[in-house]
Chains A and B, each alone.
Chain A
Amino acid sequence: MIEIGEKVSRREVLRIVGGATIGLAVGAGAGYLLGTTITPIERAVTQTTAKTTTATETRPTPTPSTVSQSSLKMGVITFISGAGAVSGVHVKNTAELIRDWINAEGGILGRKIEIATIVDESIGPAEVVKAARKMVVEDKVELILGVISSSTGLALAPVIEEELHVVTIYTSSTTTELFESVDPRPFYVFRTGIHAGMEAIAGARFVSRTLPNIKRVAGINPDYALGRDMWRLFLTALKKLRPDIEVVHEAWPPLGSADFTPHISALDMAKPDLIYTSLWGGDLVTFIKQAEPVGLFRKYQFVMSLYGSSYPDTDKTWTPEGLICGTRTYWPFYPPRWPLGERFFREYVSRFGKYPEFDAEQAFMGIYGYKLAIEKAYSVLGRYPAQEDIVKFLEGIYVPTPSGYRIFRREDHQGLGYAIYGITKHGPSYRFPILDPIYVLPPEEITPPPGLKTMDWINSW
């Protein structure tokens, strides 16, 4: 190599420049080729566009001549790789499925939806924010959908509100801090998934009603925003309902942990009556696999608030019965599906070869709510709505989803819905355990009133 101070010959310069150029060209070419490859597994299950013959809640959309027919670009942010992909894949699948549904019926006011880009959340909050900027500025997306990780959601919200000014509908990112601390008067940001507080309170109410003898409580939660949030809220709510409970152990494995066995042993040593976990996605699957042979489920009652995110990837051979599980607002197996839910379930399963979990329902509400808001705005304003108009019409709009009617609350853009908890049971029809019986906790029991922080609401009971 060249040393400083040495005279550089022309040959050296040419060699370096030439090498760098070739290197860049090869790298760019390889990157392009790799970027257009899809995995063999995805190729096997992806099928052509869904047919729209069954009756649904949708009406054929008007194609006004005053609206430009340019395509409506949407950006999707979700986990495509890693443990989070167990949940993230459902957001991506639903985005594609509902895009095709809506386009088959004429699009939104005649404009076809196009997924301009899908960003992998596992690149981390800082990189997602950069990607979001690129999406808005370069790709000109008019809707950002997705975000599962609470950390990413907290990092992105201020940037959307202050800088990017595009309707952004979070499907998850359910930490209460989003609309209670970081973005308390949201404008562009909405959230479809019911938040950690609602789920934790639902779990606490369920436990206090059905398990009278619980005294010693332990927790194993992922050590990041959501895990901390859910454990804190669950404990506070449970303590309000059952003042004599005591915490005997708290385990805090990092998100994406590979080896839970020492945490499992520590929980076992603490001899709790109940173990609460907000582990989700691939982490929960790994945890169940590692806890089962140690007999943890035979000895202690478990409450898994986010089982619904992982249920399609569990298996009767290593996932026992009797687990108390939460699954947000979507459990497609019981009660019987209404027409929209039925159509969604059938088409999802046949197109993707997977059973949908609550991230799918949450993504549905996002895209479909957006479409309904634009159509309503057009009918009122007589013109294609701007981002600021869409926001006003998204607030308070009723959106039919696979789990029923849901609404975006006006004050804090939070999606409202019921919370489902159930008990795992092995049935003959599916490889994974189903939830039977199912308990539905209505919004009034679990939702803090607008303007009141969840913690303050619990403390006021």
Chain B
Amino acid sequence: MALSLPDLVILILNGLFYSSMLFLIASGLTLIFGVMGILNVAHGGFYALGAYIAISLASAAIASGAPLLVWFLSLLGAALIVGVLGLAIEAGLLRPIYKREESYQLLLTFGILLILQDIVKIFWGLLPVGIPQLYLALGAIEVGERFYPIYNIFVILSGFLVALALWFWLARTTSGRIVRAASIDKEMTAALGVNVRSLYTFVFGLGAILGGLGGSLTIPIRTAIPGIGMEELILSFAVIALGGLGSVRGAFVGSLLIGMVRSVGITYFPELELAIIFLVLALVLMIRPTGLFGREDKRL
């Protein structure tokens, strides 16, 4: 297939859209793993809850005749609610088992995932639901003779914004520096007077917000069904393995890479959609087993 300029632009935009979605989930995952050493399988549940709560909030906003801005704020609101849930889960369920082996933590987060999935089924039912009004309201822009939904561009920009904010926070602020320190050496950080317990709760809550944001931002262009979030979770594992466990920069590069590979793959090799992603992952891991930006001490 010959690639005209508009086609190339759309190809890139499609890749960036999927990358943004992956980054939102993967950044939360990698942050939690980097700081707390927990591989949070429940993240798929945060994504799902973010999506469903967003649907409820946005539907209420739409039904009550609120202006467009409120619709979009409800997406953010959904993510924050998931964050609060994350705080509660960490304090209530995870904290008691930090002393145990890692396999317990994995099992527990998996159990939390199953519970969250069932909560979704109980409160929102089993049939697909969605809020297409949000992306319909924004319309599409012309790219040559093709169209691209403006809502997708909004998601791409949001992804970049979150990446920027995360980088700035971790690199330039005191609290970010403390979090990075805790991820490198927990005992030393505690010895320096930092309340590591609260820090853990905070990081887990932040990770949950990011996972929930991934769900809430992408749901207007999709349909929410029970089990949503699992495919994205697995791909996020691939992203953080590729980028290096614990590295937010790695999550950024990894999600960019995988999003673009998927976009190109589907266009030219439509039947290899999933295979091509894991082929790239295998290739990278063969060359650099810790991932692109990973550290030796953070291997699983």
Residues of A within 8 A of B (CB): 1, 34, 37, 39-42, 80-83, 85-86, 89, 122, 223, 249-254, 258-259, 261-263, 265-266, 268-270, 282, 285-286, 289-290, 293-295, 313, 315, 317-318
Chain A residues with CB below 8 A from B11, complex form: 262, 265
In contact, B267 and A265 (Cβ under 8 angstroms):
yes
In contact, A259 and B126 (Cβ under 8 angstroms):
no
| Top-10 shortest CB links A-B | A262-B266, A41-B125, A293-B149, A295-B147, A81-B126, A39-B125, A81-B226, A266-B267, A282-B128, A286-B223
Q: How far is the CB of B37 from chain A (nearest CB, A)?
A: 19
In contact, A40 and B222 (Cβ under 8 angstroms):
no
Q: How far is the CB of B134 from chain A (nearest CB, A)?
A: 11
In contact, A282 and B17 (Cβ under 8 angstroms):
no
Nearest neighbor of A263 in chain B, beta-carbon distance: B266
In contact, A269 and B7 (Cβ under 8 angstroms):
yes
In the bound assembly, the distance between CA atoms of A258 and B223 in angstroms comes to 8
Of B14, B118, B132, B146, most buried by chain A (CB within 10 Å of CB) is: B132
In contact, A313 and B128 (Cβ under 8 angstroms):
yes
Q: How far is the CB of A68 from chain B (nearest CB, A)?
A: 36
Chain A residues with CB below 8 A from B274, complex form: 254
Chain B residues with CB below 8 A from A290, complex form: 221-222
In contact, A258 and B125 (Cβ under 8 angstroms):
no
**Which of B68-76, B135-143, B169-177 is near enough to bind chain A?**
B135-143
Nearest neighbor of B219 in chain A, beta-carbon distance: A258
B162 adjacent to chain A (CB < 8 Å): no
Residues of B within 8 A of A (CB): 1, 3, 7, 10-11, 14-15, 17-18, 21, 101, 118, 121-128, 130, 132-133, 135-136, 139-140, 146-149, 151-152, 221-223, 225-228, 231-232, 262-263, 266-267, 270-271, 273-274
In the bound assembly, the distance between CA atoms of A83 and B130 in angstroms comes to 12
Chain B residues with CB below 8 A from A252, complex form: 270-271, 273
Given the known inter-chain contacts A81-B225, A83-B128, A317-B136, please indicate yes or no for A266 contacting B147, CB distance below 8 A: no
In the bound assembly, the distance between CA atoms of A285 and B86 in angstroms comes to 32
Nearest neighbor of A259 in chain B, beta-carbon distance: B18
29 A-B pairs in the complex with CB atoms less than 8 angstroms apart: A1-B101, A39-B123, A39-B124, A41-B127, A81-B225, A81-B226, A85-B126, A85-B128, A86-B127, A251-B270, A254-B274, A258-B232, A261-B14, A261-B152, A261-B221, A262-B14, A262-B18, A262-B266, A265-B10, A265-B263, A266-B267, A269-B1, A269-B7, A289-B221, A289-B222, A293-B135, A294-B140, A294-B147, A315-B132
In contact, A286 and B222 (Cβ under 8 angstroms):
yes
Chain A residues with CB below 8 A from B17, complex form: 261
Chain A residues with CB below 8 A from B125, complex form: 39-42
In the bound assembly, the distance between CA atoms of A223 and B221 in angstroms comes to 22
Which of A85, A265, A286, A289 interacts with B7 by CB under 8 Å? Answer: A265
Which of A253, A261, A282 interacts with B225 by CB under 8 Å? Answer: A282
Nearest neighbor of A289 in chain B, beta-carbon distance: B132
In contact, B132 and A85 (Cβ under 8 angstroms):
no
In contact, A86 and B266 (Cβ under 8 angstroms):
no
Nearest neighbor of B265 in chain A, beta-carbon distance: A262
Q: How far is the CB of A359 from chain B (nearest CB, A)?
A: 14
Given A41-B125, A265-B263, A313-B127, 14 extra CB contacts under 8 A: A81-B121, A81-B225, A223-B271, A261-B17, A261-B152, A262-B11, A265-B7, A265-B11, A289-B130, A293-B149, A294-B140, A294-B149, A315-B132, A317-B133
